[in-house]
Amino acid sequence: MKPRLPLLISILLFGYAFLYIPIVSLIVYSFNESRLVTVWGGFSTKWYGELLQNEQLLGAAWLSIRIAALTASLAVVLGTLAALALVRFRRFRGRGSLEVMVTAPLVMPEVIIGLSLLLLFVALETLTGWPAGRGMDTIVIAHTTFAMAYVAVVVQSRLAHMDLSLEEAALDLGARPLKVFFTITLPIIAPSLVAGWLLAFTLSLDDLVVASFVSGPGATTLPMVVYSSVRLGVSPEINALATIIVGLVSVAVLIAGGLLWRQERRNRLSAD
């Protein structure tokens, strides 16, 4: 017997409510007058002013944004190259090993990734003197390691369904392979690159476990600061910072969605 539509709608609404009601509550209480985050004391924006004076939170947020941007950019480049190798070159020596290495971070626990990279960095520092302590560089390398796997999967799925006749026609007309890639292939897979970049940026910005292993005293990311603060009690300043992040992410998603819709509409019109 097929389930009834009202039951499916009720389950869907419950799931979305379970996800979004805590976020809405966090946003509402960021405007709370009281320092107690569970007791409403009136509307106020003073915690946003307090946030601007909190150098620890602002410094950690700026560091996390820089790490996430670098990680996303490197992950897009490396993930795209891996996806091209797996899709365009069906048979080559080491294909199976490359496929395993690309997909392994998707299923490997973050604790294992963080511990293994920590041991790697310690061994490298002992043998070569680099890295001289753990900081932003080691976090970027660690985040790129697992973020590029997600980018590779996204780009690989787009390349697998791409019409190769467009590239073949350009090659027959005398275009060089590099020019074909930048003028034909790259614009077609651009939506997947944007999606992969946003996914890698989010994964890096949100990571706590791996960063805790590979960071040093001078490189404390925002999730680490928030986690250490929450253990002593939730601060209204964290609610204010989270509200700003939610707003920025929402704007970025809307812009990216609009660009992707515009690109798909343009592709449909050109196909017609």
Percentage, residues of the chain above pLDDT 70: 97
Give CB contacts under 8 A, 24+ apart, made by 58-63.
60/220, 60/221, 60/222, 60/224, 60/225, 61/222, 61/241, 61/245, 63/136, 63/219, 63/220, 63/221, 63/222
Q: CA distances (Å), 66 to each of 1, 60, 246, 255, in order?
A: 53, 10, 17, 20
Tell me the backbone φ, ψ of residue 32, rounded to 5 degrees.
-85, 135
pTM of the model as a whole: 0.87
Mean pLDDT of 106-119: 93
Structure tokens at 179: 């020019």
d(CA 147, CA 102): 10
Helices (H), the chain: 5-29, 46-53, 55-88, 95-107, 110-128, 136-160, 165-172, 177-180, 186-206, 209-214, 222-230, 236-271
pLDDT tens for each residue of 121-141: 999 999 998 888 889 999 999
Calculate the dihedral angle through the C-alpha atoms of 52, 54, 60, 63, rounding to the nearest 10 degrees: 40
Cβ neighbours of residue 252 closer than 8 Å, sequence gap 6 or more: 198
Q: Average the pLDDT over each of 4-13, 147-156, 209-218 and give the range with the smallest value.
A: 4-13
Mean pLDDT of 55-83: 94
- E strand residue ranges, 84-150: none
Tell me the backbone φ, ψ of residue 43, rounded to 5 degrees.
-80, 135
Hey, which residues does 43 pair with through a beta bridge?
A: 32
Q: Which domains does the chain have, with CATH numbers?
A: 58-271 (1.10.3720.10)
| 96 contacts 86 by C-beta, under 8 angstroms | no
| 157 contacts 192 by C-beta, under 8 angstroms | yes
Helix (H, G, I), strand (E, B) or coil at 43: strand
Mean pLDDT of the chain: 89
Residue type, 138: T
Residue type, 21: I
pLDDT tens for each residue of 93-108: 888 888 888 889 999 9
Structure tokens at 191: 């939506």
Looking at residue 134, the DSSP 8-state letter turns out to be: -
Per-residue confidence at 1, pLDDT binned at 50, 70, 90? very low
